[in-house]
Structures are given as C-alpha cells and as structure tokens.
Amino acid sequence: MKENIILTKKGKSVSGTIHLTGSKSECNRALIIEALSKGKVKVENISDAADTVTLLEVLTQKSEVGSQHSELKTQDLRLVNIGPAGTAMRFLTAYFSFQDEEVILTGSERMKQRPIGILVNALRDLGAHIEYVENEGFPPIKINGTLGNQQKEKINIKGDISSQYITALLLIASTLPKGLILHIDGELTSRPYVEMTLSMLRQAGIQHQWIGNSIHIPHQEFKQTSLPVEPDWSAASYWYSIAALADEAELFLPGLTAYSLQGDSVITEIMANFGITSQFKDGGVHLKKEPKPLGRKIFDLKSCPDLAQTIIVVCAALGHEATFTGLETLKIKETDRVKALQNELAKIGVKLIEKGQVYKLDCSEKFIPEKIFIHTYDDHRMAMAFAPLALLISEIEVEDYMVVEKSYPAFWEDLKKVGFEYNLIK
C-alpha cells in the first residue's frame, strides 16, 4: 500500500553532516563486472538503493519465490522480474545474452512501456537470441543465452539514446570471443556515464581504445582487484538544492571527491551559480550558501540528465527564468519527466515551455501556496527534487514517499537530521 507524507521545515537554515549511500550508477556497473569476472573482482561499499539490491539478488540468485522482485525457476527457464529497475533491465539484457541459461526478463508495468529495441537489435547483430514476449520493442523479453554465438565484431548504435544501452554492450565486450568495436552514430548523450563505465572496466583490467566515434574492447581477462564505490553524487544533488533554497546553509557530505567518475558531480559547478560553494577537505565536501546574484540563464544538461529535475525545480522556486537543453532522454525515464515537471510546477504557477529541444521556464505567474500536493509518478527523483520546497512552502504532501527507495532509501530520515519533519498519511 502506498503511503504519503506531510513534509514541513521550521526556519530556513540548514546545517549538519549527511552520510550518503554508495552510487547506484557505479555500483550497478561494478556488480555486472564482478559477475562477469567469475569472482576475480570484488565490489566494496555496495549501495542500498533498491535498484542495486534487485540487481544483486538476480546476479546471486537469492530472490525468494513470490517476492516483489520475484525470480522463479521452472526447469531450464528462469523468470527474472526486476520491477522498476531500468538500469538492471538494460544491463541484464546484455549480460544474459551470452550466459549459459535461458531467461525471461520482465519488470513493472512502467518498465514494459520503456523501449529496449535499440539494445536488443544491437545484441541480435552480435548473435544473441532474444524474443519479445508481449510487445515488439519492449519488455518482457525471452533471452536464450545458450544459443548466443558471436557473429560480428563491429556494430553501430545511436549516440543520442540512453547511455545505458551503450554501457550494457561495453560491459560484456571483453567476454565476447571476438571482443567488440562499438561505433557510435551521431552525438553521444550522457558521455560521462560511458566514461565512467570504461574507467571502471580499466580498474578491473579491461583495456580499450576510443578513437573518434569508435570504442574498441578486445577479448581479454579481468584481473584480481576490488572496485570501491563512491557515495552517490546524484543523491548529493538534493543537498545542493536544499542549500540553494535555504537562507543559510552549511552541510558536510563525507566520502565525496573532486575527481569523481560520476558525471553528476558537475552539480558543484552548476550550483556555484546559485551561491553554493564546494570545499573538498576532511575527506568529503563542505557546502556553504553565500550571497550571489543569479546570472546563468542557459543550462545544457545533456551530460547529466538525472540532475534536470533538481535544477529546474530550484530555478522555478527562485523565479529564475532559465533555459534548458539536453532533456531528450527525460521522456523515457521512470515516467515522462518533462510532462511530470510541467504538471507539478503548474502548482506554483510556473510553466516549463517546450520548443523543439529547448525548454524555458516562465515564472511570471509564480506564487508560493501555503500547502501543496506533489504527485511522484512512481519516480524517485520527482519526490526528492520537490521535497526541498518545504523550505518555502509551509506544508508539502508527497505522494508514495517510499518511492525514494529506488536510489536513496534514507532520504527522509536524512532530512530529519537537518530540521525537516514529516508525518505519515495512510
């Protein structure tokens, strides 16, 4: 049963220390690498994000029959239900394509609406045997890894689609008998996520060449090593948002470094525009709010789309009529995030106007209500992007508050540590 919460905050200052969970993006890559390495690679600081827990259960075959993320085994056919875990869906599609077993990979109703055709076509070109169980181009899919036999060494894939498709292919590349030459057609969206993947593979002993638009990973063995997972910069972004909306803010986030593999660490540069300084010392990052007039008007979020909701909500709340680009992938996430933002921002009188691939905020009719109800659309980032508005709005009711478990289970408890309060509504 879904439960809502009422979120409030007395005063407009925040201070404290927040220990963030491990990066979901890093951890999910590391777990696939660990599985492919046959035990040579060990993952340290595993995230407690629900998506990561689900992926770990599948890879270690520990799911209970009939559980939310049920994994049933009947004869030689295994049904793997990853629920709403989009990263797991993409990574496991590639992973199972050349494993010695047959599986049906499925997920939540929303997952069945999220396209997988581009990745499936690429894997089929390599020699994978994948069939659609219900609708062409969408999960669930039936993968017969026992029949997988590499047909090609070089394949093409579009660059302006989800980077998770590209990462899924790169993760399995070194285990393919002929290796892989992946040619990226057009401009690459979310480049930092691809760079993260290649960097983690390098840490595990897998070398690559990236020349022009082609990435070449030969067949090679993983080395004995450990992959430490850094705290989650995506989770950190909500604390930058809180600092930006507060009158005064001094926060410390241990474990984060200035030289992160995570593309979302760019939040330090983006939030500097809102007067938030980031000082790396004492084994983490210190955030501080300093008076600064808003100047930057255009934000290109192509390389960090998971920060879009956070930054757009902050701009809207501050009445900053900014323009945004690079939001193309938002429509195929946990929900259509563009439409969800438009719906919820309308509740404070702000319009997010779409013109082609450019989005502009119109804050001319912005107002701050006493109370507001936020729909989350089964999207963890909608809940966490709008929660900081409790600094400006007396009472916020957030729908289905447990949705944050997908990436940041401790979010609400962490808010309490800096003076937010919440009450459950059943």
The reported pLDDT for the residue numbered 72 is 47
* Domain closes at, from 199, 228, 257: 228
* Domain closes at, from 198, 228, 258: 228
Whether the Cβ atoms of residue 225 and residue 30 lie closer than 8 Å to each other: no
Looking at the fold, whether 210 and 267 belong to one and the same domain comes out as: no
Looking at the fold, whether 75 and 167 belong to one and the same domain comes out as: yes
CA 266, chain centre distance (Å): 15
High-pLDDT (> 90) share of the chain, %: 84
> Looking at residues 205-216, what average pLDDT do you find?
97
Looking at the fold, whether 182 and 238 belong to one and the same domain comes out as: no
Looking at the fold, whether 212 and 237 belong to one and the same domain comes out as: no
The reported pLDDT for the residue numbered 295 is 78
The total of structural domains in the chain comes to 2
Q: What is the pLDDT of residues 34-80, one digit of tens each?
A: 999 999 999 999 999 999 999 999 999 843 333 344 444 445 688 99
Looking at the fold, whether 325 and 259 belong to one and the same domain comes out as: yes
Which helix (H) or strand (E) segment holds residue 42: the answer is strand 41-44
The reported pLDDT for the residue numbered 44 is 93
Q: What is the pLDDT of residues 165-201, one digit of tens each?
A: 999 999 999 999 999 999 999 988 888 899 999 999 9
Looking at the fold, whether 43 and 82 belong to one and the same domain comes out as: yes
User: In this model, does residue 146 exceed pLDDT 90?
Assistant: no
Determine whether 379 is an active site residue.
no
Looking at the fold, whether 15 and 53 belong to one and the same domain comes out as: no
> Looking at residues 289-307, what average pLDDT do you find?
89
* Domain closes at, from 162, 196, 228: 228
Looking at the fold, whether 171 and 262 belong to one and the same domain comes out as: no
Looking at the fold, whether 287 and 337 belong to one and the same domain comes out as: yes
Looking at the fold, whether 211 and 272 belong to one and the same domain comes out as: no
Looking at the fold, whether 268 and 367 belong to one and the same domain comes out as: yes
Q: Comparing 384 with 335, which gets the higher pLDDT?
A: 384
Is the CA virtual torsion 131, 135, 137, 138 positive or negative? negative
The reported pLDDT for the residue numbered 251 is 98
> Looking at residues 337-344, what average pLDDT do you find?
96
pTM over 0.75: yes
Q: What is the pLDDT of residues 223-267, one digit of tens each?
A: 999 999 999 999 999 999 999 999 999 999 999 999 898 989 999
The reported pLDDT for the residue numbered 75 is 53
Alpha carbons 49 and 46: distance in angstroms, whole number: 9
Q: Is 149 exposed, middle or buried (0-12, 13-18, 19+ CB in 10 A)?
A: exposed
What domain range includes position 199? 24-228
Q: In which band, very low, low, confident or very high, does the pLDDT at 98 lie, cut at 50, 70 and 90?
A: very high
Q: Strand 420-425 vs strand 4-9: parallel, antiparallel, or unpaired?
A: antiparallel
Q: Which of 51, 232, 264, 306 is catalytic?
A: 306
Q: Which residues of 346-358 are buried (b: 16+ CB within 10 A; e: fewer)?
A: ebbbbbbeeeeee
Q: What is the pLDDT of residues 341-359, one digit of tens each?
A: 999 999 999 999 999 999 9
Instruction: Calculate the average pLDDT of the chain.
Output: 93
Q: What is the pLDDT of residues 195-207, one digit of tens each?
A: 999 999 999 999 9
Looking at the fold, whether 17 and 35 belong to one and the same domain comes out as: no
Q: Which CATH number is 372's domain given?
A: 3.65.10.10
The reported pLDDT for the residue numbered 142 is 96
